[in-house]
Amino acid sequence: MSRLTASLALSCAVSLALSVTTVQAQTAPQPSPAPVPVPRSVPSSFADLANRLLPSVVNVSTSAVLKPGKDEDKGPDASGPDGPQVPQFPQGSPLEKFFHDYMTHKPAPNRPPRRMQALGSGFIVDPAGIIVTNNHVIEGADQVSVTLQDGTELPAKIVGRDSQVDLAVLEVKPKHPLPAVPLGHSDAARIGDWVVAIGNPFGLNGTVTAGIISSRGRNVEHGLYDDYIQTDAAINRGNSGGPLFNLSGEVIGINTLIYGGAGGDSIGIGFAIPADDARGIIDQLRKTGHVSRGWMGLKFQNVSYDIAEDLDFHQADGTVGKGALVSEVGPKSPAAQAGLQVGDIITRVGSQDVTGQTMPRIIASILPGTKTELTVWHKGSIKTLPITLAQSPNAPDMPPSDTHQPTHTKAAFGELGLAVRSIDAEMRTQYALTDDQRGVLVDRVEPSSPATSRGIAVGNVITQVGQDQIDTPDAFAKAVSRALEQKKKEVLLLVQDDDGLRWVPVPFLGN
């Protein structure tokens, strides 16, 4: 469970004042406040709901191999600046603590590689085996597996992930259809509504907790698209990626963050990604494996009360206006082409009212190439500007468009579970390769793939496919494709790692 680092100083003063007054007979009776209706949906028990939903919640187990560094035999300072460093995982990643503990202790000489494991949660959204979890649950892992409620363990493939909103989609191949749960409409959920969280805290599978929605639209400064549901249902480490249900059994949130106590445990303040924010992202990840976000090419900020007063920016009823104040317009950007200027205030995108806080999510939810209209306050007047959104140039979890990116083809990636890239000067430095090193560099290895099962890892160099010398990603892809066309069940790779060259027969997926 990703933990928010926060220092909370709470000062509480509770005062009970009891006042007894004598009401004179001639005093006019005061009107009684309107009675508050008793909610009809207060449950006497969550047992039936829990029994129905538990089979749809899964444990997500991740692991990664930690190889001893070359400096591990240097003594007590081996983990210092000159020794092996803790791998960089996203903040709160389940693997972060394990690697930190491992790397910061004095290493044993000639220690063999170790496989570190961590646990999270997820839920089934398609009976065919599609599962949703948090990105930080699976990021950094080279193997992912899913355990169903009945104890069945299945290897999982990462279909796609989005680090900016912290979502990932997994796929398993079950023998029978799995019990799926629907995504509900989180926008309809209200503060005070009952919710149920189910997950895998501390590895305790099938843990059910209940509470209410404490707040909505929380911005905890965890990312650009913060819009969390806050709940007091107990959420702990290991609940990450698990569902937050309403009483109809619909997923209205994906549990992601907590404010933790001294030990990082639940203190009744948890945060979930709203289902309505997640729905479009999950759909894109299932279809393409990545998320395409709209981009306007501008910077903006929220319009505070003081700014609105200074600019004399008011609504029709005289109250201060709300919107996103433009602070910078990128040259040749969609915003520039639409005619936006610094100092303009965007009040609506299409039919949606916006503020500086909601603007990033609204823009990102629009697909690149979409035409829409901006309602803009410009020096006291309102105007409408047509705009066509572009693809964000910094789209997360997609390779930037430069000449040094790996070539991903069906043959090179899907059938073997790996991707390769050319060896350039940067890669030679990063992986300590010699100037005359030939071949292609393994740039990515899919978890639970044929390549992973044969010990191929990121940073290995493939120099031959069968008898063919390989020097480019295209040559690699063609050689693998030929093997497929010849209906071979596996392909023979000559792989170089820290221990030297070795031939590795890698089966094609499904063999």
Half-sphere exposure of 439 (CA within 13 A, CB side): 22
Q: Which of 461, 454, 464, 458 is nearest to 445 (CA)?
A: 458
200 annotated as a binding-site residue:
no
Distances (CA, A) of 190 to 256, 278, 362, 368: 19, 18, 21, 32
pLDDT tens for the chain, residues 1 to 511: 544 533 323 333 322 222 223 333 333 444 545 554 545 567 889 999 999 999 999 999 998 776 555 434 333 333 333 334 444 555 555 555 555 555 555 555 555 566 778 889 999 999 999 999 999 999 888 889 999 999 999 999 999 999 888 999 999 999 999 999 999 999 999 999 999 999 999 889 999 999 999 999 887 766 667 789 999 999 998 999 999 999 999 999 999 988 866 556 678 899 999 999 999 999 999 998 888 888 899 888 888 888 888 788 888 777 888 999 888 888 889 999 999 998 899 999 999 999 888 888 888 888 889 999 999 999 889 999 999 999 877 543 333 333 333 443 333 456 788 888 888 888 888 888 888 888 999 988 887 788 888 889 988 999 888 878 888 888 888 888 888 888 888 888 888 888 787 888 888 876 6
245 Rama class: left (phi>0) / alpha (psi -120 to 50) / beta: beta
CA 376, CA 373: separation in Å to the nearest integer? Answer: 9
Q: Give the pairing of strands 266-274 and 294-295.
A: unpaired
Q: Look up residue 154 and give its two tokens.
A: 């299945």
Strands (E), 200-263: 207-218, 228-231, 243-245, 251-260
Q: Which of 386, 387, 338, 395 is nearest to 364 (CA)?
A: 395
73 annotated as a binding-site residue:
no
Q: In this structure, what are the phi and psi dihedrals at residue 107, rounded to the nearest 5 degrees?
A: -75, 150
239 annotated as a binding-site residue:
yes
What H or E segment, with its residue span, contains residue 497?
Answer: strand 490-497
What H or E segment, with its residue span, contains residue 161?
Answer: strand 157-162
3-state secondary structure at position 146: strand
Residues with a catalytic annotation lie at 136, 166, 240
CA 120, CA 205: separation in Å to the nearest integer? Answer: 10
Burial pattern 372-401, b for ≥16 Cβ within 10 A else e, equals bebbbbeeeeeeebebebbebeebebebee
Q: Look up residue 458 and give its two tokens.
A: 């990121």
Model pLDDT, residue 76: 31
Model pLDDT, residue 373: 96
Q: Residue 254: beta bridge partners? A: 273
Which residue is associated with the tokens 């306050």?
A: 377
Model pLDDT, residue 105: 53
Contact predicate 471/439, CB 8 Å: yes
CA 420, CA 462: separation in Å to the nearest integer? Answer: 9
For the beta carbon of residue 57, count every other beta carbon within 10 angstroms.
29
Which amino acid is present at 486? Q
Q: Residue 328: beta bridge partners? A: 299
Q: Which of 379, 294, 394 is nearest to 335 (CA)?
A: 294
Using only C-alpha atoms, what is the Rg of the chain? Answer: 27
Distances (CA, A) of 252 to 181, 267, 283: 11, 21, 16
CA 495, CA 456: separation in Å to the nearest integer? Answer: 8
- DSSP code of residue 17: -
Give the CA diameter of the chain.
108
Model pLDDT, residue 13: 32
Strands (E), 50-147: 57-66, 114-126, 130-133, 143-147
Start-to-end Cα distance in the chain? 36
Q: Look up residue 68 and give its two tokens.
A: 């001893």
3-state secondary structure at position 303: coil
Residues ≥6 apart with Cβ < 8 Å to 222: 2, 4, 257
CA 97, CA 99: separation in Å to the nearest integer? Answer: 6
Q: Which of 84, 93, 90, 91 is nearest to 66 (CA)?
A: 84
CA 89, CA 161: separation in Å to the nearest integer? Answer: 15
238 annotated as a binding-site residue:
yes
Model pLDDT, residue 387: 96
Residues ≥6 apart with Cβ < 8 Å to 446: 157, 158, 413, 417, 418, 452
What domains, with CATH codes, occur in the chain?
A: 55-171 (2.40.10.10), 186-288 (2.40.10.10), 294-391 (2.30.42.10), 410-507 (2.30.42.10)
- DSSP code of residue 333: S
Which amino acid is present at 139? E
Query: How many residues are given for the chain?
Result: 511
Residues ≥6 apart with Cβ < 8 Å to 16: none
CA 184, CA 191: separation in Å to the nearest integer? Answer: 16
Contact predicate 275/251, CB 8 Å: yes
166 annotated as a binding-site residue:
yes
